[in-house]
Chains A and B, each alone.
Chain A
């Protein structure tokens, strides 16, 4: 069974540009979660999508947005990139009914803003 896949692995962008990160959940999982892990910091919750809808959002500005497609894959968009957006962005998936049993994470996208 394929795990959670994220692309690209690495992304280098210039300040002010837009970044698009992609995530494919485990087959059968309908929920996708996005987290930001800045260097030396913990995982910060960004967004939760389930069945194509945004269900919950963390304390991030509106320039962090995303969507979930009918096949449950998801996209995270970061507009007007700032240097402090440089971080590892992790996607996780779960079956919503089993989300309280934990996540499976993808390998992440390392975003560097220069």
Chain B
């Protein structure tokens, strides 16, 4: 079992819709959880981090964490074509971040 698993995708949503990205992790000792956005040919960019159970909102982005279920999600409201990218879930543990393989999101105008 991979340490961090994401929906393989690709995920396609129409402009203005809500995009939902999911991630599960295997280590219950994981402390912090991240969502990075990676545009094609570019390096990852941190967009959200969360370490407490519940929701954390930042503009159109909401991260949700459920440690009991070992589940992290990212909701993107009012999706825009510029949100089209690969979204990487990462988990911080033992001095490093472990990344999932990413979910590619396409927002269609």
Using CB atoms and an 8 Å cutoff, list the residues of chain A in contact with chain B. Answer: 33, 35, 41-43, 45, 48, 55-56, 58, 88, 90, 99-108
For residue A108, which residues in chain B have a CB less than 8 angstroms away from its CB? Answer: 43
CB distance from A64 to the nearest CB of B (A): 15
CB distance from A50 to the nearest CB of B (A): 8
State whether A42 touches B46 (Cβ < 8 A): no
Quick one: which of A33, A41, A107 contacts B42, CB cutoff 8 A?
Answer: A107
Closest residue on chain B to residue A46 by CB atoms: B96
CB of B94 within 8 Å of the partner chain: yes
CB of B97 within 8 Å of the partner chain: yes
For residue B100, which residues in chain A have a CB less than 8 angstroms away from its CB? Answer: 42
State whether B97 touches A90 (Cβ < 8 A): no
State whether B92 touches A100 (Cβ < 8 A): yes
State whether A48 touches B45 (Cβ < 8 A): no
Closest residue on chain B to residue A6 by CB atoms: B43
For residue B94, which residues in chain A have a CB less than 8 angstroms away from its CB? Answer: 56
Quick one: which of B31, B43, B90 contacts A107, CB cutoff 8 A?
Answer: B43
Q: Do most interface residues of chain B lie in helix, strand or loop, or is the interface mixed?
A: strand
* Number of residue pairs A-B, CB distance < 8 angstroms: 51
Using CB atoms and an 8 Å cutoff, list the residues of chain B in contact with chain A. Answer: 31-32, 34, 36, 42-46, 49, 51, 88, 90, 92, 94-102
For residue A88, which residues in chain B have a CB less than 8 angstroms away from its CB? Answer: 43
Give 8 closest A-B pairs by Cβ, nearest first. Answer: A42-B101, A100-B32, A43-B99, A102-B46, A105-B43, A56-B95, A102-B49, A100-B92
Q: Which of B44, B51, B88, B90 has the most CB of A within 10 A?
A: B44
For residue A105, which residues in chain B have a CB less than 8 angstroms away from its CB? Answer: 43-45
Q: How far, in angstroms, from A103 to B88 measured CA to CA in the complex?
A: 13
Q: How far, in angstroms, from A99 to B34 measured CA to CA in the complex?
A: 11
Closest residue on chain A to residue B89 by CB atoms: A42
